[in-house]
Structure 1
Amino acid sequence: MYFEIEKQAKDAIIKAIDNFDCEIDTDFKLEFPPNPDLGDLASTISFALAKQLRRAPDGIAEELASCIEVPEIFEKVKAVGPYVNFFVDYSKFSKMLLDYVTDDYGQLEKVDEKIVLEHTSANPNGPLHIGHVRNSIFGDSLTRLLKLAGRDVETQYYVNDMGRQIAIIVFGITELGLKIEDQEGDKIDHKIGRLYFKTNQKLKEDESLNSHVDAIIKRYENGGDEQLNALFEEVVESCLSGIKETLHRININHDDFVWEGQFVRNGDVDSLVDYFTKEGFVRHDEVTYIDLIDFQIEKEFVLRRSDGSSLYSTRDLAYHRWKATQGDVVLDILGSDHKLAAKQINVIFKEILREIPPEVIFYEFITLPEGSMSTRRGVFISVDELVDEAVKRAASEIESRNPDLTPEEIKPIAEDIGIGAIRFFINKLSPEKHITFKWDEALSFERGCASIQYAHARACKLLKKSGKDVSSLEIADNWDVNDNEQDLVRTIAKFPQVVEDSANKMRVHNITQYCQDLANSFNKFYKEEQVIGSDLEDTRLILVDKARVTLRNALDILGVSAPEKM
Structure 2
Amino acid sequence: MNLFADIKILVTESLDALAAEGAIPAGLSADNVTVEPPRDPAHGDMATNAAMVLAKPARMKPRDIAEALAAKLAADPRVTSAEVAGPGFLNLRLAPETWRTALAAALASGTDYGRAPRLGRKVNVEYVSANPTGPLHVGHTRGAVFGDALASMLDFAGWDVTREYYINDGGAQVDVLARSAYERYREANGLEPAIAEGLYPGDYLVPVGQALKDRFGTSLLDKPESEWLVEIRDIATELMMDLIRADLAALGVRMDVFFSEKSLYSGGRIEAALEALEAKGLIYTGALPPPKGKADDDWEPRPQTLFRSTDFGDDVDRPLKKSDGGWTYFAPDIAYHFDKVERGFDELINVFGADHGGYVKRLKAATAALSDNRVPLDIKLTQLVKLFKNGEPFKMSKRAGTFVTLRDVVDEVGRDVTRFVMLTRKNDAPLDFDFAKALEQSKDNPVFYVQYAHARAHSIFRTAQAAGMGEAATGVEALAPLDHPAELALAAKVAEWPRLVETAARHHEPHRIAFYLYELASDFHGMWNRGKDEPRLRYVQEADPEGTAARLALVRAVSVVIAAGLGILGVTPLDEMR
> TM (normalized to structure 2)?
0.78
Q: What aligned pairs does 1:6-405 form with structure 2 within 5 A after superposition?
A: 6-17=8-19, 18=21, 20-23=23-26, 24-27=28-31, 28-52=33-57, 54-81=59-86, 82-101=88-107, 102-103=109-110, 104-174=112-182, 177-178=185-186, 191-193=203-205, 220=230, 228=231, 231-272=232-273, 281-282=284-285, 290-291=305-306, 295=310, 297=315, 300-304=318-322, 306=324, 310=327, 312-326=329-343, 327-350=345-368, 358-369=377-388, 371-376=393-398, 379-390=402-413
User: What's the CA shift string for 1:95-127, capped at 9, x where partnerless?
Assistant: 453244322112012212101111000111111
Q: Deviations over 1:33-70 (max 9, x none)?
A: 12333222211122134325655423542343234452
The size of the alignment, in residue pairs, is: 508
Deviations 1:434-491 (A, max 9, x none): 2222334444421221111111110011112222554676663651510111111000
Q: Secondary structure at the match of 2:162?
A: strand
**CA deviation profile, 1:327-361 (whole Å, cap 9, x unmatched):** 12222111232232332333445568966573322
Deviations 1:71-117 (A, max 9, x none): 12222222233222221111353145324432211201221210111
3-state SS, counterpart of residue 75 of structure 1: strand
Specify which of 441, 452, 455 is matched with residue 453 of structure 2: 455
CA deviations on 1:309-342 (whole Å, 9 max, x unpaired) are 5454332221111111221222211123223233
| Separation in 2, partners of 1:276, 1:47 | 44
In structure 2, what residue type is equivalent to 1:361? K
The AA in structure 1 aligned to 2:418 is I
- Alignment CA distance shift 1:480-1:361 (3 Å): closer
Change (3 A) 1:548 1:478: closer
- Confirm or deny: 8 A CA contact 1:44 1:83 kept in the other structure: yes
- Say whether the 8 Å CA contact 1:16–1:68 is kept in structure 2: no
**Cross-structure match for 1:446:** 443
Secondary structure of the equivalent of 2:259? strand
Question: Structure 1 residues 552 and 181 mapped into 2: Cα distance closer, same or farther (>3 Å)?
Answer: farther
**Paired amino acid for 1:166:** V
Distance change (3 Å), C-alpha of 1:150 and 1:351: closer
After superposition, what is the alpha-carbon deviation per residue over 1:245-302, rounded to whole angstroms, capped at 9, x for unaligned? 2212222111111111211122212444677789763579999953469837458535
Distance 1:473-1:111 versus aligned 2 partners, 3 A rule: closer
Shift of 1:514: 0.7
What SS does structure 2 have at the residue aligned with 1:72? coil
Secondary structure (helix, strand or coil) at the match of 2:321 reads strand
Deviations 1:405-431 (A, max 9, x none): xxxxxxxxxx4xxx3332222222222
In 1, Cα distance between the equivalents of 2:61 and 2:318?
Answer: 54
Contact 2:134 2:204 survives alignment (8 Å): yes
Percent of aligned pairs with the same amino acid = 24
Cα drift, residue 9 of structure 1? 4.2
Aligned to 1:399: none
- Opposite residue 107 of structure 1, the aligned amino acid is R
| Residue 447 (structure 2) pairs with residue 432 (structure 1) | no
Instruction: Determine the C-alpha separation between the residues in 1 that align with 2:410 and 2:189.
Output: 24
TM-aligned CA distance change 1:343 to 1:519, over 3 Å: same
Question: 2:439 & 2:23 partners in 1: Cα distance?
Answer: 55
Paired residue type of 2:114:
G
Residue 19 (structure 1) shift = 5.1
Could you list the runs of 5+ residues in structure 2 that have no partner in the other structure? 194-200, 210-223, 288-299, 532-536
Partner in structure 2 of residue 223 of structure 1:
none
- d(CA) in 2 for partners of 1:420, 1:172: 34
Q: 2: distance between equivalents of 1:79 and 1:526?
A: 35
- What residue identity is the alignment partner of 1:290? T
CA distance in structure 2 between the aligned counterparts of 1:344 and 1:476, rounded to whole angstroms: 58
C-alpha displacement at 1:304, in angstroms? 4.8
Partner residue in 1 for 2:570:
559
Alignment of 1:464-503 (within 5 A): 464-467=462-465, 470=471, 476=478, 478-503=480-505
Whether the 8 Å contact between 2:37 and 2:47 is mirrored in structure 1 is: yes
Q: Normalising by structure 1, report the TM-score.
A: 0.80
Please identify, of 335-344 and 509-518, the stretch whose mean Cα deviation from structure 2 is larger: 335-344
Deviation at 1:549, TM superposition (A): 0.1
Q: Deviations for 1:207-257, whole angstroms, at most 9, x for unmatched residues?
A: xxxxx87x689x84xxxxxxx2xx433322221222122212222111111
The residue that corresponds to 2:6 in the other structure is 4
Of 496-505 and 18-27, deviating more is 18-27
Q: State the Cα RMSD in Å.
A: 3.5
Aligned to 2:550: 539
Shift of 1:144: 0.9
